[in-house]
C-alpha cells in the first residue's frame, strides 16, 4: 500500500471524523486526512459546511433556551419555539 492510499479516506470515514471532531479533538493524522479528503470531495465539503451551520444553530439555540423548572415548562417552551 502506497502512502497516498494510506492517507485517503472514504466518504463514510470522512463524515465520521467530521462528527467526531465536535466531541473531541482529532489527531494530527486525522486532521490531515480529513483536510485532504474534503479538498477533493465536493459532497463531503458540502456536508462539512452544513454540519457546521447546524451545530452553530444548535449551540445558539441552547445557549439562549429558557431554563425550565420542570419538563412541562421545557416542553411548552420547545413547542412555542417550533411554531
Averaged pLDDT for residues 33-55: 95
pLDDT of residue 5: 63
> Which residue in 55, 58, 77 sits closest to 67, CA to CA?
77
Q: Classify residue 14 by burial, with Cβ atoms within 10 Å: 0-12, 13-18, 19+.
A: buried
pLDDT of residue 26: 95
pLDDT band at 19 (very low <50, low <70, confident <90, very high): very high
Residue 66 to residue 47: CA distance in whole angstroms? 30
Mean pLDDT (the chain) is 86
Q: What would the grid cell of residue 17 be?
A: 471524523
Please give the angle made by the CA atoms of 34, 36 and 40, to the nearest 5 degrees.
Answer: 115
Amino acid at each position: 500500500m502506497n502512502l497516498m492510499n494510506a492517507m485517503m479516506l472514504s466518504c463514510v470515514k470522512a463524515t465520521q471524523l467530521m462528527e467526531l471532531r465536535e466531541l473531541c479533538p482529532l489527531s494530527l493524522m486525522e486532521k490531515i486526512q480529513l483536510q485532504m479528503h474534503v479538498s477533493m470531495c465536493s459532497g463531503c465539503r458540502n456536508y462539512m459546511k452544513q454540519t457546521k451551520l447546524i451545530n452553530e444553530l444548535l449551540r445558539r439555540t441552547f445557549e439562549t433556551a429558557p431554563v425550565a423548572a420542570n419538563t412541562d415548562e421545557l416542553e411548552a417552551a420547545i413547542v412555542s419555539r417550533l411554531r
